[in-house]
Amino acid sequence: MTEVIDGNAVAAEIREDLSDAISTLKQAGTVPGLATVLMSDDPASETYVSMKQRDCEEVGINGIHVELDNDAPADELYETIADLNADDEVHGILVQSPLVEQVNEREAFRAVTPEKDVDCFHPENVGRMVAGPSHARFKPCTPHGILKLLEQYDVETEGAEAVVVGRSNIVGKPMANLLAQNDDTGNATVTVCHSRTENLEAHTKRADIVVAAVGVPEFIDGTMLKEGATVIDVGINRVDAETEKGYELVGDVEFASAREVADTITPVPGGVGPMTRAMLLWNTVKAASEQTGVDVALP
C-alpha cells in the first residue's frame, strides 16, 4: 500500500514540541518574535502570510506583520527591514517573495541581518549551510521541512538516488545540497534537473527519492517514476476550478498516477506546505534562543 505522508500531522507535532522551547524562552523573559513583510499584490502571498501569522499565535510567538504599499519606493522596504533588524523584540524576519517589480529581490533578502534571516536566504547563511552542518546557522524552511518528513516516515536518504527537479534558491538548490551533505539526513547521491535537462524521465525513473519543485501543475506523472519511489511534491499551483474560491491547489506531480507507482508520496495540499510553515516557527525559536543566549531543546 502506498503511504500518503500527512504533512499537517507532522507539522502539528513540531508546533506542539516547539511550545516547550517557547515556554523556556518566556520564563527567561523573551517572547520570540517573527516579522513578516509583504510588498506584493500576489493573492497567494496574502494567504501564506496570514497563515504564518496564525501559526505564530497558536504557538505563542509574537507575530508582527508589516504591509507596504505596492507602489511605494524600494527604499521604504529597506527602511522597514532596517527598523526590524534593530528591533530587539523581533528575532526573525521574513520578506515574502515575490516582491513588487521596483524591488530587487536579491538586494532585499541581503538587507535582512543574517542573525534574523529565518528564511536562510542571505548569502552568508546560504554559504554557512553549504559549508556543512558544523557551520550552518539556519536551514531554509521548505527543504528543512522535507528532511523532517523523510525522517518521520523512515525514508532512508543514505545511499539513495535522489533527483531534485528544480534549482531555485528557495527550494531546489538548497534541497539538493542538503540531501548530498555528509549528515544523518543526507548522504544521498543527488542529481539536479532543470529546464535545460535533456531526457528528464531518464533521471526521474532511476530515482529512489524524487523532489518536484518546478511550478508546473502535474508535471511529473507515474510513468516517469520508479516502482517503490518516494515522491515529494513541493508544487503549489492554483488552477481554475468550480470551487468556492474559483481555484484548486494542484502539485507538480500528477497524484493519481504517481501514487500507483510510489511507495510513499506527499499530497497537495497537506504535504510539504504545512512543514514549510512549521520550520519557519522552528527557525524563529532558534533565532530567539541564539540572540538571547537562552538554551532550548529543538524538536
97 is a site residue for ligand GUE (CB under 6 A): yes
| Residue 165 interaction partner, one of ligand GUE, ligand NDP, none, beta carbon < 5-8 Å per kind | ligand NDP
23 is a site residue for ligand GUE (CB under 6 A): no
Which parts of this chain interact with ligand NDP (CB under 6 A)?
A: 142, 165-168, 170-172, 193-197, 200, 213-216, 234-237, 252, 272-273, 276
DSSP letters spanning the chain: -PEEP-HHHHHHHHHHHHHHHHHHHHHTT---EEEEEE----HHHHHHHHHHHHHHHHHT-EEEEEE--TTS-HHHHHHHHHHHHH-TT--EEEEPSSPPTTS-HHHHHHHS-GGG-TT--SHHHHHHHHH-TTT-S---HHHHHHHHHHHHTT---TT-EEEEE---TTTHHHHHHHHHSSSTT---EEEEE-TT-SSHHHHHTT-SEEEE---STT-B-GGGS-TT-EEEE---EEEE-SSTTSEEEE-SB-HHHHHHH-SEE--SSSSHHHHHHHHHHHHHHHHHHHHHT------
61 is a site residue for ligand GUE (CB under 6 A): no
* Catalytic-residue membership of 119: yes
* Catalytic-residue membership of 152: no
Task: Spot the catalytic one: 55, 96, 252, 286.
Answer: 96
The residue whose grid cell reads 496564525 is 54
Is 236 marked as binding a ligand?
yes
Is 19 marked as binding a ligand?
no
**Shorter beta-carbon distance to ligand GUE: residue 82 or 202:** 82
- Min separation Cβ 279 and ligand GUE, Å: 9
* Catalytic-residue membership of 286: no
The answer to whether 11 touches 278, Cβ cutoff 8 Å, is yes
| Residue 299 interaction partner, one of ligand NDP, ligand GUE, none, beta carbon < 5-8 Å per kind | none
36 is a site residue for ligand GUE (CB under 6 A): no
274 is a site residue for ligand GUE (CB under 6 A): yes
Is 14 marked as binding a ligand?
no
| Residue 102 interaction partner, one of ligand NDP, ligand GUE, none, beta carbon < 5-8 Å per kind | none
Give residues in contact with ligand GUE (CB under 6 A). Answer: 47-48, 51, 94-97, 119, 141, 236, 249, 268-270, 273-274, 276-277
Q: Indicate the annotated binding residues.
A: 166-168, 236
Q: Indicate the annotated binding residues for NADP(+).
A: 166-168, 236
Positions marked catalytic:
52, 96, 119
